[in-house]
Amino acid sequence: MSTTSTQSGSKAKLPPRVTESLVNRLTAMVTAGTAGEAREPFEMTEVYTGDVVGYLPQSSPEDVKAAAEIARAAQREWAARPLADRLAVFERAHELILSEIETLADLIQIGCGKARRMAIEEACDTPMVIAHYLKTAKKTLKPKKRSGPMPVITTSTEEHRPKGVVAVIAPWNFPFAISMSDSTPALIAGNGVIMKPDNKTALCTLYGIELLHKAGLPRGLVQVVCGGGPDVGPTLIDSVDFVMFTGSTATGRTIGEQAGRNLIGCSLELGGKNPMIVLDDVNLDEAIPSAIFAVFGNTGQACMHIERIYVHERIYDEYLRRFAAAAEELGKTLGASYDFEPEMGSLVSVDHMKRVAAHVDEAREKGATVVTGGKPRPDIGPAFFEPTVLTGVTKDMAHATQETFGPVVTIYKYSGVDEAVALANDTDYGLNASIWTGNIERATALAERLEAGAININDGFVTSYAAKGTPSGGVKQSGVGTRHGAAGLLKYTDTINVGVQKKQIMAARASMPYEKQLKSTLLTLRLMRRLHLG
């Protein structure tokens, strides 16, 4: 264990790879103090202990403007490079991230408190996204020649040009994966990026950018600004050409409003209140462990994780008994360590733990049953909370409709599939839904009736999220736009339509009366339709 130097508070004993000089080098990458006057830095703490890790500079609106100017200048040179050169940087970055996975996991854990296996899985997301775009970007970004309104005589070419500078605003729950994986296609498309990580979890993002620099990314092209969202957000959105935001629905609405006023595009990946429907033909030996991960993975702090499980009445009792027993077993593995021992880690902060506890306490007070869990675990660390299973939750309880975003789930009973569909869809959100059954055809038919941007059959959320070739995003109040796939790259470009007329035949001919021209136009349109032209 190494000890970082601090200005105040207890010094955190961190994994040996995370030295004081590493923390200082990373925090020095934040664009801050450009106008001379430095703001009070943010005190970063280790979630497991609350001990101080280091001090993160905070950016002022002037710093954000300065960052945008630097990124804009670097972007012109970057966009002028052949795509193959830009991809070569990411080919190297892919390997660098994999070779540095342990340090990345350390930094993710320090800021988030999640279990190590989740930190490793998170760090693997970015190489997966890189690999996908290394394979597909050339084809997706290649200009596409299409026929024009008059075959042969005219053509139209679809071109994709980088938007310019993109803001990538990331939350704390997957701080490395979201900031780096969303920046990857933006950079490959030829944009500059200004990243705004959450203060608590900025170190892993900064380390990722250092790896991109090692891979050959020009310095200046990616800028990092840090600070309270409402403090740096408005200037950031005023300084860029596109916003990629991941976070809560409330903040997404604010960001979407400002982007709309500025007439720039935005992609908003927001919250969820995700249901799982368990049909009566399910294999419980497979369904229970998978559901346990879908609910409690990342300590329940995943936008796509499951907070509502609807189980057919025929198997409800057995499902509840076995699920609760498995949750109780999981609770025994809670731990604060940088090895693979604990299966579940901490919540991100004491404040967030209190919010999760408040949802459980309110449900209990209003009559819900806490089948297992339901309590903080200060004996392990300041923000630990037990895996919790509730029943008897009703709509007057916050946990019934709001995102709890912690290791808490309610198990409900249903008697018919129509009822299950109605209950699953009874939410303003539409991020993810899961169906469990022994019959894929039944599930596919059911999936068509669910209102969610991702639907996972016989899985909680990983299958759809890890399919990097398929665009993925929320519907209803869970988002606007998608990430991954061709759409996840093209959103960072402007589509330009270049039309060419090789011979002047479309303009009206002065010598011909208009009635005659009309007849000839209608004839041409009918002919083109018959010949499937146009």
* Residue 431 interacting with ligand NAD (CB under 6 A): yes
* Residue 206 interacting with ligand NAD (CB under 6 A): no
Q: How far apart are CA 286 and CA 92, in angstroms?
A: 38
Residues whose CB falls within 8 Å of the CB of residue 75, separated by 6 or more in sequence, listed in order = 162, 164, 165, 190, 191, 192, 221
Residue 367 CA: distances (Å) to CA of 335, 392, 397: 31, 7, 9
Report the SS3 class of residue 42: strand
Q: Which is nearer to ligand NAD, 82 or 230 (CB)?
A: 230
Minimum CB distance to ligand NAD, residue 172 (Å) = 5
> Which window, 83-91, 101-109, 122-130, 248-256, contacts ligand NAD (CB under 6 A)?
248-256
Binding mask 324-343 for ligand NAD (x = CB under 6 A): --------------------
> Which window, 96-104, 227-235, 336-344, 523-531, contacts ligand NAD (CB under 6 A)?
227-235
- Please name every residue paired with 494 in a beta bridge, in sequence order, or none if there are none: 161
* Residue 421 interacting with ligand NAD (CB under 6 A): no
Q: Which is nearer to ligand NAD, 245 or 384 (CB)?
A: 245
Query: Considering only residues 387, 406, 479, 485, which one is a binding residue for ligand NAD as defined by CB under 6 A?
Result: 479
> Which window, 18-26, 179-187, 249-257, 486-494, contacts ligand NAD (CB under 6 A)?
249-257
Both tokens of residue 276? 């799982």
269 is catalytic: yes
Residue 59 CA: distances (Å) to CA of 24, 39, 255, 405: 16, 7, 19, 28
Residue with token string 């705004």: 196
> In terms of C-beta distances under 8 Å and separation of at least 24 residues, what long-range contacts does 39-43 make, across chains too?
39/227, 42/199, 42/226, 43/8, 43/9
CA-closest candidate to residue 277, choices 459, 120, 484, 72: 459
Q: How far apart are CA 461 and CA 309, in angstroms?
A: 14
* Residue 230 interacting with ligand NAD (CB under 6 A): yes
* Residue 251 interacting with ligand NAD (CB under 6 A): yes
Q: Which of 100, 121, 269, 403 is catalytic?
A: 269
Give me the DSSP letters along 400-431: HHS---SSEEEEEEESSHHHHHHHHH-SS--S
Report the SS3 class of residue 183: helix
Cβ-based neighbour number of residue 350 at 10 Å? 17
Q: How far apart are CA 40 and CA 35, in angstroms?
A: 14
Q: Which is nearer to ligand NAD, 133 or 405 (CB)?
A: 405
Query: Considering only residues 46, 106, 198, 343, which one is a binding residue for ligand NAD as defined by CB under 6 A?
Result: 198
Minimum CB distance to ligand NAD, residue 405 (Å) = 6
Q: Which is nearer to ligand NAD, 169 or 189 (CB)?
A: 169
* Residue 429 interacting with ligand NAD (CB under 6 A): no
Residues 267-296 that bind ligand NAD (CB under 6 A): 269-272
* Residue 255 interacting with ligand NAD (CB under 6 A): yes
Minimum CB distance to ligand NAD, residue 406 (Å) = 11
Minimum CB distance to ligand NAD, residue 61 (Å) = 12
Backbone angles phi, psi at 206, to 5 degrees: -60, -40
Query: Considering only residues 100, 182, 403, 459, which one is a binding residue for ligand NAD as defined by CB under 6 A?
Result: 403
Q: How far apart are CA 402 and CA 12, in angstroms?
A: 34
- Please name every residue paired with 155 in a beta bridge, in sequence order, or none if there are none: 147, 500
Binding mask 144-183 for ligand NAD (x = CB under 6 A): -------------------------xxxxxx---------
Count of residues interacting with ligand NAD (CB under 6 A): 27
* Residue 113 interacting with ligand NAD (CB under 6 A): no
- For the chain, what's the residue count? 534
Q: Which is nearer to ligand NAD, 347 or 360 (CB)?
A: 347
Residues that bind ligand NAD in the complex, under the rule CB under 6 A: 169-174, 196, 198, 229-230, 233, 246-248, 251, 254-255, 269-272, 303, 403, 405, 431, 474, 479
Catalytic residues: 269
